[in-house]
Amino acid sequence: MAGTFITLQGRSRGYRNALIVLGALALTGLICFIISYVAGHQTFGSSNTVPWGMPIVLAIYLIGLSAGSLILSSLTYVFGREEYRPIARMAVFLAIVLIFGAMISILIDLGRPEKFWRLFMFFYMNNMTSMFAINGILYGGYFVISLVYLGIIFAGKAGAAKITGIVAAGWAVLVHMGTGAIFGFIAAREAWFSALRPLEFLAAALTSGVALLIVAVVATFTLSKREVKGEMIASLGRLLTMFIFILLVLVIFDKLTHLYAPGRDAALYMLTGPGAWVFWVFQIGLGVVVPLVILLHPGLRKTVRGIVAAAASVVVGVFFERYYLVITGAAYPQAYAPGKIEGVWGAAGSFALTPVELILSIGILALLGLIYLLGLKYLQLAPAQESGNTETKP
């Protein structure tokens, strides 16, 4: 089976139903986007204190998943780790789908989405000191490089795949560190301002990327009645454990640095303020404690079920890590003047998730699921089955 890939037939009832449900959700999302475009961003929960809402949370989350997924594929095509070959094509395809979703999310967050092309007028109409403009180069280039990379893999050119793999993985590292820099370089927001932010984003990208890949691979293989290789999943689980530890160390050092200095109000707000439960319950609980307990448990760490549960927990945990950074981090009030600023101008920002924003976010995820399922049907992504049983039921 090594090295042969086939398309899924996609004739089963479950596959068709999944397409219909995802398509309907994506369509509802589109309707909500039109509502938000016509009525303005008052339909979102964001405000002048918390300017970025769910679309940006989703965007940086999807970029992270994408970058992590792409870096993993390089294990096979660059470092020649044969045990990951069955899932390498899926990893690259997933990376392309996810970066596409991230770009759509950013587009939706723009107040004037019809002017998005201004982000891509590099050096001509762009201000190249802006991290957004630099990231425009990074994201756009990443999308193109990933497409080329997938094309070369499909063409079966091992040497070229290795070179593009190196370029693509390096570019993916840049993409995510650039995304971290959007937040880390902003001195005005104390909760964001940190030199560690790009590295933290990279670690989070790898963590969530591996986790999503585990979930996606096991789901695809199980639903298409393929044999899930426990050994491969267990080795991905070990990789996941390592990334969780790296992420945890970076988070701890970031928090400690800001707690140690006397100007620790912002750090205290982030750890004990009204939005801190997101950090403790989701980022630490679901993102670190639950998966680590499962992955270090002598029995559970060897079962596919346990590893998938840990991975799913990480996927959710890292999503809320993004939410915590973008929304709770921005809500910390700015000290315009020394003293206590009274009234509205000194109050911490509030964020109420609106239905439009929620349906829009679900719509984006549904669209990505839809593209992924269609990709499985029309591209040779999934590894061929030894038994020849290619009847699918995803």
Partner 1 sequence: MARWGMVIDLDKCTGCQSCSVACKAENNVPSGSPEEHVRRLTPFWQKVIAVSSGEYPSVSIDLIPMPCMHCDDAPCVTVCPAQATYKREDGIVIQNFRRCIGCKYCIVACPYGARSFNYKEPEDEPYNRPDLPPERADRGVWPFPHRVHGVVEKCTFCFHRIDAAIEEGKVVGEEVLPACAEACPARAIAFGDLGDPASHVSQLLASRQATRLREEMGTSPKVYYLLK
Nearer to partner 1, 114 or 386 (CB): 114
Nearer to partner 1, 10 or 55 (CB): 55
The span from the CA of 305 to the CA of 230, in Å, is: 10
* Nearest approach, Cβ of residue 346 and partner 1 (Å): 7
Angle at 353 between CA 349 and CA 356, to 5 degrees: 135
* Nearest approach, Cβ of residue 347 and partner 1 (Å): 8
The span from the CA of 319 to the CA of 307, in Å, is: 18
Cβ proximity of 319 and 223 under 8 Å? no
The span from the CA of 189 to the CA of 179, in Å, is: 16
Element holding 162 (H helix, E strand): helix 158-184
Phi-psi region of 320 (alpha: psi -120 to 50; beta: other; left: phi over 0): alpha
- For residues 104-138, one letter each, b for 16 or more C-beta atoms within 10 angstroms of the residue's C-beta and e for the rest, the string is bbbebbeeeeeeeeebeeeeeebeeeebebbbbbb
Nearer to partner 1, 181 or 205 (CB): 181
Which residue ranges make up the site for partner 1 (CB under 8 A)? 39-42, 46-49, 51-52, 109-112, 115-116, 118-119, 125-127, 129-133, 136, 182, 186-189, 330, 334-346, 349-350
The span from the CA of 202 to the CA of 64, in Å, is: 7
Q: What are phi and psi of 288, to 5 degrees?
A: -125, -55
The label of the residue with tokens 């909760």 reads 191
* Nearest approach, Cβ of residue 111 and partner 1 (Å): 2
> Coil, strand, or helix at residue 335?
coil
Nearer to partner 1, 150 or 267 (CB): 267
Nearer to partner 1, 132 or 378 (CB): 132
* Nearest approach, Cβ of residue 99 and partner 1 (Å): 18
**Amino acid in position 173:** V
Nearer to partner 1, 118 or 301 (CB): 118
Nearer to partner 1, 108 or 239 (CB): 108
* Nearest approach, Cβ of residue 116 and partner 1 (Å): 7
Cβ-based neighbour number of residue 144 at 10 Å: 11
* Nearest approach, Cβ of residue 341 and partner 1 (Å): 5
